[in-house]
Amino acid sequence: MDNKTTDDEIRFLARLGAAMAAANYPVTLIRQMLGRASAAYGVPTEVIVLPNTVQVVGPATGSGTIVKSAHLDRDVRFDQAFPLARLVSNAMRGAIDPAEGDTELDRILASRPRFRPWMTVLGYGVWSAGLGLVLEPTPLNLLGATVLGVMVGIFAMVGQRFGVLAQLLPVVSAFSVAAVSIAVAEYLGLDHIGLRALIPPLAMFLPGAAITLAVIEVTARDAVSGSSRLVAGFAQLAQLVFGILIAAQLLGEDVSHLSAEPLNKLGPWAPWLGVAVYAVGVMLFLGPPTSFLPWLLLVAYAAFIAQYLGDLVLGSYASGFCGGVVLTVAALLMSRYRSAPPALTMILPGFWLLVPGSMGLIGIAELFGADGDSALGVTFISMISVALGLQAGLVLWQAFRRPGGWRRRRR
């Protein structure tokens, strides 16, 4: 194998790893997949993976050791994760030439969103409405979640066009949502503002997935990656809380009026309908292939039922753990079918539905003045429970799957 061919392969593997990192693959999984791809290409490599940078060190040659580094300045969109997963699969089998893989990766990263901006904004309003039904099913909250979701969706579209503003989106969105909610509550003469009512429009900023990945990586001894994700997750959560508290202070709202008590004025059916509405919102906002919807509904309801039963049987602290276990096992099980999407694409929407970050937001807001003197403990446990559930699901899957049958994708 000549140096030019090896150089192309090392470069492709580094860029592929960077794309996987930008798509929220755990660093442990990235190393494993790149190792399999290296073996398929017959090139021995050493891989160093961080959340935003991947370095691949190739074999020593007559002209020296080939080293390639790559990183992406933005996240890979959810709809781009589907063709990216196919490219990763082909690379692990050595079924695509590195030069062709580079071209395909460029095509994936340059692809445009499936829907026009106005449809994406509307989709986030539907997403927010679905979570509103799950968290706080009242007529007023449903209306507010939809309208405020559309508002935050517009903010997100503007932030994408002006990249510098994206860093301020969590604070600006949290401030705007809280300010509008407080103004409406005062106009209607309400005696409190439900913190749960503020969560659906801010769902895209909740760091549940980041914290879950952090726990997986820390326990896998990837301390640098795990710690950085954990700090970033808490920093983003703090931005949301800061925006809410600043809005409350500027508008003269007593933070003791912020309440985390659940309220349901529509009926016990509302949260179950909310899961389906949420799934439709995911399809419109994130723009995955249409064939993804049935799989999304299956895995979302599986996780939601597990969380619901876990709350009834074991209590609220264990509900996220139960949901995480079932979410992971269900996604991995369904991914074995030939027509199924990659497991990771089914797990990520489940994170947002189980809402570990939402419970953290409630807890920290309580810590700054609302009811509750054990908010810090509630915050930590509610976030970590889903992450540990995910990890437990991965362990169960690896321990109990049969040697034959499910290892081969079913037709």
- The model's pLDDT over 85-135, given as tens digits with 9 standing for 90+, comes to 999 999 999 899 998 999 999 999 999 988 898 999 999 999 999 988 888
**Residue 234, in any domain of the structure:** yes
Instruction: Kindly indicate the confidence band of residue 315, based on its pLDDT and cuts at 50, 70 and 90.
Output: confident
**Residue 274, in any domain of the structure:** yes
178 and 279, same structural domain?
Answer: yes
200 and 345, same structural domain?
Answer: yes
Q: What is the pLDDT of residue 5?
A: 64
> Last residue of some domain: 51, 77, 110?
110
pLDDT of 205-255, one tens digit each?
A: 877 677 778 877 887 788 888 888 888 888 888 888 888 888 888 887 665
198 and 139, same structural domain?
Answer: yes
Range of 294's domain?
A: 117-398
| Strand spans (E) along 163-317 | 193-194, 258-259
Mean pLDDT to the nearest integer, 294-303: 94
Helix (H, G, I), strand (E, B) or coil at 410: strand
**Residue 407, in any domain of the structure:** no
**Residue 408, in any domain of the structure:** no
Measured N-to-C along each axis, helices 139-161 and 169-188 cross at an angle, to the nearest 10 degrees, of 150
Instruction: Kindly indicate the confidence band of residue 330, based on its pLDDT and cuts at 50, 70 and 90.
Output: very high
> Last residue of some domain: 52, 79, 110?
110
Model's pTM, two decimal places?
0.85
51 and 199, same structural domain?
Answer: no
Question: Does 3 score more than 60 pLDDT?
Answer: no
Q: How far apart (Å, rounded) are the C-alpha atoms in residues 138 and 132?
A: 8
**Residue 167, in any domain of the structure:** yes
Question: Does 169 score more than 70 pLDDT?
Answer: yes
211 and 168, same structural domain?
Answer: yes
- Computed over every residue of the chain, the mean pLDDT equals 81
130 and 249, same structural domain?
Answer: yes
> Last residue of some domain: 110, 142, 175?
110
**Residue 404, in any domain of the structure:** no
Cα–Cα distances in angstroms (integers) from residue 341 to residues 90, 126, 135, 329, 334, in the given order: 15, 23, 28, 14, 8
Q: Among 91-105, 128-142, 164-178, 186-200, name the most confident range.
A: 91-105
Q: What is the pLDDT of residue 146?
A: 93
Would you say 278 and 296 are in contact if contact means Cβ atoms under 8 Å apart? Answer: no
Cα-atom radius of gyration of the chain, to the nearest Å? 22
**Residue 406, in any domain of the structure:** no
123 and 47, same structural domain?
Answer: no
159 and 100, same structural domain?
Answer: no
Share of the chain above pLDDT 70, in %: 82
Residues contacting 351, CB < 8 A, separation 6+: 208, 209, 212, 327, 386
Beta bridge partners of 337: 410
Q: What is the pLDDT of residue 114?
A: 87
Question: Does 190 score more than 80 pLDDT?
Answer: no
Instruction: Kindly indicate the confidence band of residue 376, based on its pLDDT and cuts at 50, 70 and 90.
Output: very low
Q: What domain count does the chain have?
A: 2
Q: Which two tokens stand for residue 346?
A: 């089914």
Q: Which two tokens stand for residue 29?
A: 């999984």
Q: Which amino acid is at 250?
A: L
| Higher pLDDT pick, 252 / 14 | 14
User: What is the DSSP annotation of 331-396?
Assistant: HHHHTTBTTSPPHHHHHHHHHHHH-HHHHHHHHHHHHTTSS-S-HHHHHHHHHHHHHHHHHHHHHH
Mean pLDDT to the nearest integer, 174-178: 91
244 and 165, same structural domain?
Answer: yes
